[in-house]
Structure 1
Amino acid sequence: MSAVIPESEIEVQIRGLMLDPVTNMPIVVLKDIAGDTVLPIWVGVFEANAIALELEKTTTPRPMTHDLLRNLARGLNATVTKVVVSDLREDTFFATIWMLQEEELVTLDARPSDAIAMALRWDCPIYVSRRVLERSRQSANETGTNVNADELRRWLENLNDEDTGRYKM
């Protein structure tokens, strides 16, 4: 049984993992696989590390938190089928992890960084709700940062592999 992908979701891939030049906070850059739309999501240092470890296929001597969660799900005969960056409220992104356990679909609320780390460990697709993309643009317009947001988007869309650091796809 596979999950049905609604038209309201856009499949993305990780374009890069980098540091915000202003705040020094990690950014996961998601890019529409069928277009040029990009969505930067600022994440915590530990979550960025969990994503980077899996992007680089680095093994650790003991299971890290997301590895433990993967092992727990496997132990419960569950499979992560997709993750969705599903909402944006008050400048905070929300995500949903979709799992299949014995023919039953289970959804879990998650931070996008954790959902992305899990998607990488399960090698499953990552989606962004069209509504989230619209709200992220609208949020930039409402805060009066439209020019900066547009400049940031253009900059992110034109990144080359060297710009995104060692975390290449």
Structure 2
Amino acid sequence: MFIEMSVKGLTLDPLTNMPIVILKDLEDKRVLPIWIGLFEANAIALELEKITTPRPMTHDLMRDVIAGLNARVIKVVVNDLKNNTFYAVIHLNSNGNQIVIDSRPSDAIALALRSGAPIYVSAEVVNKAKSIDMTKESEDTDQLKEWLENLKPEDFGKYQM
């Protein structure tokens, strides 16, 4: 089973200052935080804010190459969680053929936003993520979990690099 989600915003982990993309299901019942890199966070932030760059960024290039090959992004799926690492796939349609490409979730999400494609997360990943060790060796795990559980939409604001 897959749950459709949307990007609710970007925030910074208060302990590590690493960017986190926040996915939320369409019924506002489940939230999935995914830690991502700075470059991917910047790509997602640019698209969320509808900021255009003078030259295509990497995810714009991906979208344009896919379109140039007469293909389109059908959906992206965050499909696994192993050893605190999320995995995703990008589903393309090319001349009636479906192609599935392995991807980091951050790249898949950035491409989905640019392509207008839906974002799905497997129910198994959502369940696994509830028990994820978000800080590995940090003693502040409970503090971080509490902070994530209490995030409000106004906490997202504009993401600054």
TM-score if structure 1 supplies the norm length?
0.85
Identity %: 53
Mapped partners of 1:91, 1:37: distance in 2: 18
Question: What's the counterpart of residue 33 of structure 1?
Answer: 26
Asked whether 1:155 is paired with 2:150, we answer yes
CA-CA distance at 1:34 after TM superposition = 1.6
Alignment of 1:40-79 (within 5 A): 40-79=33-72
The alignment yields a C-alpha RMSD, in angstroms, of 1.9
Q: 1:34 is paired with a residue of what secondary structure? A: coil
Point out where structure 2 has 5 or more consecutive residues left out of the alignment. none
Distance 1:42 1:140, change over 3 A: same
CA displacement 1:13-67 (0-9 Å, x = unmatched): 1111011111111100000112321010010000000001111111111110001
Equivalent position amino acid for 1:103 in 2 = G
- Alignment-derived partner of residue 100 in structure 1: 93
Moved segments of 4+, more than 4 Å:
143-150
Match of 1:128 among 121, 126, 137: 121
Could you tell me how far apart the structure 2 residues matched to 1:108 and 1:160 are? 32
Q: Is the 8 A contact 1:140 1:149 kept in 2?
A: no
Residue 89 of structure 1 corresponds to 82
How far did residue 166 of structure 1 move? 1.5
Distance in 1 (alpha carbons) for counterparts of 2:104 and 2:19:
15
**C-alpha distance in 1, partners of 2:16/2:140?**
16
Q: Secondary structure at the match of 1:80?
A: strand
User: Gaps (5+ residues) in structure 1?
Assistant: 1-7
String of CA shifts for 1:115-137, please: whole Å, max 9, x gaps: 00000000111111001011112
Name the TM-score, length of structure 2 as normaliser: 0.89
- Tell me the CA shift for residue 145 of structure 1: 8.1
Question: Residue 37 and residue 123 in structure 1: after superposition, are their counterparts in 2 closer, same or farther (change >3 A)?
Answer: same
Give the SS at the match of 1:47: helix
1:16–1:29: 8 Å Cα contact kept in structure 2?
yes
Alpha-carbon distance in 1 for matches of 2:25, 2:141: 20
Separation (CA, whole Å) in 2 of partners of 1:71 and 1:154: 37
Change (3 A) 1:24 1:138: closer
